[in-house]
Amino acid sequence: MCGIFAIISKDGQPIEPKMYHGRLHSLREIAYRQSGKQRHRGPDYTGVKLVQDDGVALLHERLAIVGVQTGHQPLLSEDGNILLVANGEIYNYLEQSAEIAKKRGHYKPKSDCNVIIELYEEYGVNLFEYITGMFAFVLYDKHTKNVLIARDPFGIIPMYIGEDASGNIWVSSEMKCIVEFCTKLESFPPGEYRYGQPGNLERKKFFHERWVTEIPNIEADLSILRARLESAVRTHLHCDVSFGALLSGGVDSSLIASIATKLRRERDPTFKLKTFSVGLRNAPDFQAAKLVADYIGSDHTEIIFEIADALDGIRDIIYHLETYDVTTVRCSIPMLLLTRYIKSTGIKMILSGEGADEIFGGYLYFFKSPNYVEFHKELVSRVQQLNLSDCLRANKVAMAKGVELRVPFLDTAFVNYVMSIRPEDKIPGSLNCLGGTQKYRIEKHILRAAFAKDFLPDAVLWRQKEQFSDGVGYDWIDTIRKTATSHVSDVEFSTAATRFPINTPTTKEAFYYRSVFEEMFPGQAAADTVKRWLPRLDWGCPEDPSGRAQSAHQVHQ
């Protein structure tokens, strides 16, 4: 995983040097300077390619995970006409490489992303039918002068696109690289591509699944569910560097760690997965994580943090996240402390459990779902917003320290299977939402039931969800809320609606985060890239996103 950056002339003509910070800068100088703002994403290598006559600059900040010695980008086609900068992992690249080799007689990819070029040469914009993985990329065809820009179906990998005052296109993995130049700016939508001449890009969705618009009716099959998650984890294990796993003690991260251990021991019975958890002293997650670590025999480390040290990171985390969403800020600071430690151990890739709550209905506010139809629609909404919440947090926090984070629950085939299961098999149970047919069913019941033997101790397998920002220690949320609130006076807060008409903050905590964000990323275009994570207020849920605020919390433990 890496950072990508591109400037593309709107009319295919050279971009003249520009005054910047009081000095004339060439296209290459501006591109290198701006891409440097995300160089934390790729500490191993910076690659630069210019097509000067066409006004194109492509840059790549590399974190070497696959093809460590050969995978420097930008990548070029064999004839040199196609240039590519890509961020992510193509998990089926070995299979695609074999198919390409059959057709060409020879083919050895420099890295997993290399197949994007060959598939483009063979299939054009239909290449998305052939790749699975997490990705964001910019491809430039010198022969046709066409551009192809695309992002994976769920937005696991971040990408922003903008236009400057001259209409030139700017693309980057992080908004901070382009916000000061772009009068138009947006987070690139997941599952979409833009293709054609730079001044007239065609915009299309390449991800189309029936579960997005229809209520599914497929009955859950636990054996298929188990096999498909194991398959997803297997594909996510391919890398050429040391890796580990986050282990919060919740069922999601615990299952990923357990499955990864099982799969690696098929070829090395002595394998010990390195696992990591974070929290305040005596945090709720620590006990559960230790149970799992002992059960799967992992090499486990607990990172204990002090509240004062974590509070120091509020401004840093908003800069890295590029959001002012309360939920995201709260849970990201402990994760940043954890990632920093993991990086110090030499590990460059970690597995995590993001995505399970969105596809299985794991958040505690789902107990308030009024019926099956509304439950499924809310799942679809959560999946479509992953790129603005959990995926944004997971990627940007890990990459802030140059660590790649992989999320097997968001394997495209696995998501498509789970989201095609009828909602009555997934909805968490109560008399209210199940019409009196059942008194109680724990959230993510079918996921837990599918792995009911030999994977986790029952105390963890059937443990109620504890949101990460709660599980690190209840004092954390309570204190960060008080600290943020203390920075905002009543007079300041009374100006919220006029000062921030977009996503107006409704609490002093939210106002403070928004104020810090505005200092770093001023303007309406930047503010519009953020969406707030909230439970369903129209279902009677409280506005505070903490799981502890929900009535279902701990009732059935």
Q: Choose among 65, 66, 90, 89: nearest CA to 347.
A: 65
Q: How far is CA 458 from CA 133, 293, 335, 446, 553, in A?
A: 32, 14, 26, 14, 19
DSSP 178-237: TTTTEEEEEEPPTTEEEEESTTS-EEEE----GGGTS---BPP-HHHHHHHHHHHHHHHT
pLDDT band at 111 (very low <50, low <70, confident <90, very high): confident
Structure tokens, 373: 């139809």
Mean pLDDT of 170-175: 98
Please say whether the beta carbons of 288 and 265 come within 8 A.
Answer: no
pLDDT band at 434 (very low <50, low <70, confident <90, very high): very low
Instruction: State residue 527 phi and psi, 5-degree precision.
Output: -60, -35
pLDDT tens digit sequence for 42-68: 989 999 999 999 999 999 999 888 877
pLDDT band at 466 (very low <50, low <70, confident <90, very high): low
Instruction: State residue 127 phi and psi, 5-degree precision.
Output: -60, -25
Inform me whether the pLDDT recorded for 436 exceeds 50.
Answer: no
Mean pLDDT of 338-359: 96
Q: Kind and range of the H or E element at 395? A: helix 390-399
pLDDT for position 433: 43
Mean pLDDT of 403-428: 97
Mean pLDDT of 489-498: 97
Rounded distance, CA 460 to CA 441, Å?
16
Domains of the chain, each with CATH number or no CATH: 2-208 (3.60.20.10), 211-549 (3.40.50.620)
Inform me whether the pLDDT recorded for 439 exceeds 80.
Answer: no
Please say whether the beta carbons of 460 and 380 come within 8 A.
Answer: no
The residue to which tokens 């506010």 are assigned: 365
Mean pLDDT of 221-227: 98
Q: How far is CA 129 from CA 27, 88, 96, in A?
A: 35, 17, 11
Q: Please, what is the angle between helix 390-399 and helix 326-344, to 10°? A: 30
pLDDT for position 221: 97
Please say whether the beta carbons of 218 and 421 come within 8 A.
Answer: yes
CB atoms within 10 A of CB 428: 26
Mean pLDDT of 334-351: 96
pLDDT tens digit sequence for 523-541: 999 999 999 888 888 998 8
Q: How far is CA 330 from CA 69, 411, 477, 487, 492, in A?
A: 38, 26, 7, 16, 22
Q: pTM of the full predicted structure?
A: 0.94
Q: Percent of the chain, pLDDT > 70?
A: 94
State the catalytic residues: 2
The residue to which tokens 């796993």 are assigned: 245
| Beta-bridge partners for 405 | 350
Inform me whether the pLDDT recorded for 555 exceeds 50.
Answer: no
Rounded distance, CA 158 to CA 268, Å?
35
pLDDT for position 435: 44
DSSP 133-178: EEEEEEEEETTTTEEEEEE-TT--S--EEEEETT--EEEESSGGGT
Inform me whether the pLDDT recorded for 170 exceeds 60.
Answer: yes
Inform me whether the pLDDT recorded for 546 exceeds 90.
Answer: no
Q: Choose among 130, 138, 67: nearest CA to 98.
A: 130
Rounded distance, CA 172 to CA 160, Å?
5
